[in-house]
Amino acid sequence: MGQNGRKVVITGLGVFASTGKERESFFTNLINARSGVRRISQFDPSPLSVQIAAEVPDYNPTDHFQPKRLDLLDRFTQFALLAAREAMESSGLEVREEERPRFGVVIGSGMGGVQTFESGCFNVYARGATRLHPFTIPKVMHNAPTSQISMEYGAQGPSFSTSTACSSSAHAIGAAFHLIKYGQADMVLAGGSDTPITMSMMRSWESVRVLANGNGNPASACRPFSADREGFVMGEGAGILLLEEYERARRRGANIFAEICGLGMTSDATHITQPSVDGPARAIRLTLEEGEVRPDEVDYINAHGTGTPLNDVTETEVIKRVFGEHARRVAISSTKSMHGHAMGATGAIELVATVMALERGVVPPTANYTRPDPQCDLDYVPNQAQERPLRAAISNSFAFGGLNAVLLVRRLKSDPM
């Protein structure tokens, strides 16, 4: 291993989200600015003031899992497994028995099995239940997807879960990147999953006053960086990527989507909900430093871009501070405008979008952009995708609690532009 560690590449992509239940439909919908936001269907949202969310449509668990297995799987674990299956299939990876101790799983979740937990609480407090399902605890625990994926694929290497609110899956992918880079694993399935669309979660987020209600038009509810933005839309989903040591991937003839080459992690250490400029700016600088990529080599930023008034202004200032004059040349977009904010899963879902943009030279737009905000004065790729050659891209994840994670991906240096 060299002084700077081993090269790490992405050889598998899987996604299960409101805008697509696999990566091709997901990316096609993104570049065509098709929203996954609609009226909530999992329960009657009539008592809520915000009745919309970015749900995965027409989902039937028994189409994918045997009933007996479903007894062990909360919705967020189901989604993680489905995204992991696509990542493994797209990678063409076949793990031999002797390689399993070098094969890991790292999955992030901000909420865990909230649907099982909420159902259990309702049965206890509203129905007076004295006993709950015996697998309630294995279903609600945050590490359930990690354990279920490791069992499905026989992964016996470093495996764990991360929970840092909206940065959970970005931290998970970053941890997996370092496990491979510094020789503790050769292959890692990494990403995140969250399914927070429940009555109590929606009530809770209503109280924070950061949700957009859409004013009768759900598809255009989330308007990041636009002057008339009013908040984010709750989403759900999962994104899983297969990370692999480069030489191993090359020897087996794997299709390499991109190289992952940098991770920046910081804490604002200032406020539990209000964003900072300093912490995210340091995180971006750290990821560029690790990846040995100059700021002017970054051609695309998948922004955290929640659509809240304060967050978007802060992120704009962060980008200006790090990139200087290049900030006005780089393409910036928030895909949350279409797939919603899937909490701990969002970083992974957005990295899938970022990698596909890098691979195909097409930047997905920020949908629903209506008019510029003088404090948000960069190129947010409004409403229409842009075709352009991309060398390197970053994906930003900035969480409540001031916990930041920024991932850097680039085309392999041997790839022609």
User: Token pair 């992690």 is at which residue?
Assistant: 265
Please give the radius of gyration of the chain, using alpha carbons only, rounded to the nearest integer.
Answer: 20
Q: Which of 142, 222, 261, 304 is catalytic?
A: 304
Is residue 341 among the annotated active site residues?
Answer: yes
Is residue 121 among the annotated active site residues?
Answer: no
Question: Taking Cα atoms as reference points, which of 406, 271, 283 lies closest to residue 347?
Answer: 406
SS3 389: coil
Helix (H) or strand (E) holding 199: helix 199-208
Is residue 166 among the annotated active site residues?
Answer: yes
Contact 103, 185 (CB under 8 A): yes
Q: Which of 142, 171, 339, 341 is catalytic?
A: 341
Q: What span, in angstroms and rounded, lies between the C-alpha atoms of 235 and 233?
A: 6
Contact 213, 224 (CB under 8 A): no
Q: Which of 142, 166, 339, 376 is catalytic?
A: 166
Contact 227, 371 (CB under 8 A): yes
Number of other CB atoms surrounding residue 49 within 10 Å: 10
User: Token pair 């990876």 is at which residue?
Assistant: 93
In this structure, are strands 386-387 and 298-302 parallel, antiparallel, or unpaired? unpaired
Q: What span, in angstroms and rounded, lies between the C-alpha atoms of 378 and 392?
A: 18
Q: Which residues are annotated as catalytic?
A: 166, 304, 341
